Amino acid sequence: MTAPDPVQRIRQDIQSMHAYAVQHSAGLLKMDAMENPHRLPPALQAALGERLGRLALNRYPDARVDDLRAALAAHAGMPEGYGLMLGNGSDELISLLAMACDVPGATILAPVPGFVMYAMSAQLQGLGFVGVPLTADFALDEAAMLSAIEQHRPAITYLAYPNNPTANLFDAAVMARLIAAVGRQGGLVVLDEAYQPFSSRSYIDVLRAEPAAHRHVLLMRTMSKFGLAGVRLGYMMGPKALIDEIDKVRPPYNISVLNYECGLFALEHAEVFAAQAQDLRTQRDRLLAALRELPGTRAWDSDANMVLLRVPDAAKTFEGMRALGVLVKNVSKMHPLLANCLRLTVGTADENAQLLAALQKSL
């Protein structure tokens, strides 16, 4: 008798899913993942290496992680009465939110196209997901969002500020009305500010000015775009009573001693990373200007370290650029609104020049 296949113990919906795909980038100029291209100066590399070498790796993480929480709260200007929890990247926080809000019939709602982990976290946790299409210019469809909020009464509504992969900031007045509508339904709003270092605005100023109207709002950020993508550190702020409840589902010791010491070191040298972000904002403007000189393409305004570009044939252009050694992200199959769109990471001046040369040859 043949033994049953152990794979059948895996949930059927998991078996039918596709894993999150990370593109192979060996030997290529990596312009597909919105990473900060700048490394630490040699002196800081040496100082960090020495500091990490002194850590007690034989011990579990200790109260030093509280120092990181306090440092992040100060760096972000966290509103009074808020708490802060840490995640192994924003991805873990998104998963923990789905776990914490997993009650029968619960739904997660977000505009689409948007960050794929919102929908994936819902699916993995067995929650419903409602994606509300943006307009053709990637603005929030206020009427459709309000209707979906009324109909589905979502447990969590995600609003990315700026949005990924479209790189734009949504209209603040529309966001305010949507946030109020979710509050009337008793749901949570999560403002995802992953790209805050490159953005012209942050919603934290509104939260600080109007705390009573935002008792149901959480603000999520990451140190990945700050310049520590390899460290995996995300953090989420919100009214302390809310954070305390969500923090109960966080695994113990989810932030390693290496993670939190790297985070503390980076915050101690925040001016270095701020200068890097300023350079990338300057390079973004130059890249956008150059892209808009290319015939037959359209580049949208960006408040992040990426640019969304529509080309005549995304698949052909993507493969052409890859053959020339430049890796970008083909997002054209993610959603109908992204037809023939590529997402380009903003790099250094030299990297952007290489990207533009490969793009021109591949169009």
Pairing of strands 329-330, 341-345: antiparallel
* pLDDT value, residue 10: 83
Of 76, 55, 77, 53, which is closest to residue 64 (Cα–Cα)?
A: 55
Q: Which domains are present in the chain?
A: 6-43+271-362 (3.90.1150.10), 58-268 (3.40.640.10)
CA dihedral 68, 71, 76, 78 (to 10 degrees): 90
Lowest-confidence pick of 109-113, 154-158, 209-213: 209-213
Check pLDDT > 90 for residue 335. yes
Average pLDDT along the chain: 96
Higher-pLDDT residue of 104, 73? 73
Chain segment 21-41, per-residue pLDDT in tens? 778 888 999 999 999 999 999
* pLDDT value, residue 204: 97
Report the 10 Å Cβ neighbour count for 345: 26
Rounded Cα gap, residues 4 and 358, in angstroms = 51
Rounded Cα gap, residues 178 and 105, in angstroms = 21
Check pLDDT > 90 for residue 351. yes
Higher-pLDDT residue of 96, 26? 96
pTM above 0.75, yes or no: yes
Cross-sheet strand order for the sheet of 234-239: 82-87, 234-239, 217-222, 188-192, 156-160, 107-112, 128-133
CA dihedral 270, 272, 275, 280 (to 10 degrees): -100
Residues with Cβ < 8 Å from 241, sequence gap 6 or more? none
| Neighbour-count burial for 195-231, b at 16+ CB within 10 Å, e otherwise | bbbbbeebbbebbeeeeeebebbbbbbbbbbbbbbeb
H helix runs in 219-269, sequence order: 240-246, 257-268
Let me know: does 36 contact 231? Beta carbons within 8 Å: no
Type of residue numbered 207 = L
